[in-house]
Amino acid sequence: MRFFKRLNLYLRPNNYIVVALGDDKKNIEISNLLYRYILANTNNKASIFAHIRDEKNKNLLENKLSDGVLIDSFGVETQLFSYEMIVGEILDIYAKAINDNYNKNNPKNACLWNDLSEFAKSSNRSVWISIPAKLYSLGLEIVDINDPREEISILELDSQLDYKGAYEEHTRWYRFHVVNGWRRLTIDESKSLSKDSKIRKIESRKKSLSLCSFEQLKEVSDYLGEDIQSYDYLWKEPLIYILHKYNKKIVKLRNI
């Protein structure tokens, strides 16, 4: 009871409790106990997430959502705590591959990795961080190469899913820049800055023509004379290369 009294001090609607004590059985038992206690004994709701290694054990958790209290699982251990995830090795390999692919498709504005600003490098790294969520929204996930499910080629997505992936990539890029203080450079501003060249961004002032909606990129493309939207499709080829390098592949989600 001493534990629960202390727990009450930390329970808030937007807080969450992570249970990762050891084996699946222990994590599930503790999570279900916490779930029942929070539902019955406090008005301060909080979400509970149990670390579960074996997929078949996930259904042993009690009701997923009740009276504003969520109980859910996370895992699998091999995906969360693999060597490449711990050391972050894959992060820069993919970020460099993204930059190489951009340079190949846009040689006019190419920039070698070592010549990029630290901000631009971080922006490329954030593409990798967003990959699991992006794939999930497309009904896909990354698994070990030995998984029995058929590999899905993200280069052969139907037009609707392909567009959705590009749209979400632009949204990620947009938000990454905005939270780092960037603002939109309008076409009129760009025209006023130079009569001889079309200014696409001013890094020192944190302004870019592309800081607009995905649909508005068409207007930017017409102004610059290049297909700006096409760059938001470039996350796919490097991903296939990296996953095969680490014996992974993309498959359909089990519940899709």
User: Which tens digits make up the pLDDT trace of 107-160?
Assistant: 988 999 999 999 999 999 999 988 988 998 899 999 989 889 999 999 999 999
Mean pLDDT of 24-40: 87
pLDDT for position 89? 73
User: Which tens digits make up the pLDDT trace of 225-244?
Assistant: 999 999 999 999 999 989 98
pLDDT for position 13? 61
pLDDT for position 40? 82
pLDDT for position 212? 94
SS3 string, the chain, reads CHHHHHHHCCCCCCCEEEECCCCHHHHHHHHHHHHHHHHHHCCCCCEEEEECCCHHHHHHCCCCEECCEEEEEECCHHHHCCHHHHHCHHHHHHHHHHHHHHHHHCHHHCCCHHHCCHHHHHHHHHHHHHHHHHHHHCCEEEEECCCCCCCCCHHHCCHHHHHHHHHHHHHHHHHHHHHCCCEECCHHHHHHHCCCCCCCEEHHHCEECCCCCCCCHHHHHHHHCCCCHHHHHCCHHHHHHHHHHCCEEEEECCCC
Percent over 70 (pLDDT), the chain: 91
Task: Return the higher-pLDDT residue of 10 and 189.
Answer: 189
Give the confidence band of 1 by pLDDT, cuts at 50, 70, 90: low
User: Which tens digits make up the pLDDT trace of 6-28?
Assistant: 777 777 666 778 888 878 888 89
pTM for the full model?
0.65
User: Which tens digits make up the pLDDT trace of 68-87?
Assistant: 778 888 776 555 555 555 45
- Lowest pLDDT segment from 43-47, 109-113, 193-197, 240-244: 43-47
- Lowest pLDDT segment from 20-29, 73-82, 191-200, 205-214: 73-82
pLDDT for position 245? 85
Kindly calculate the radius of gyration of the chain based on its CA atoms and give it in whole angstroms: 23
pLDDT for position 61? 86
Give the Cα separation of 50 and 107 in Å (integer).
Answer: 47
Give the Cα separation of 10 and 38 in Å (integer).
Answer: 12
Average pLDDT, the chain: 86
pLDDT for position 79? 54
Give the Cα separation of 58 and 255 in Å (integer).
Answer: 14
pLDDT at residue 66 greater than cutoff 90: no
Give the Cα separation of 112 and 202 in Å (integer).
Answer: 18
pLDDT at residue 173 greater than cutoff 80: yes
pLDDT for position 83? 53
pLDDT for position 71? 85
pLDDT for position 256? 47
pLDDT for position 82? 55
pLDDT for position 255? 63
Q: What would the two tokens of residue 56 be? A: 């078949």
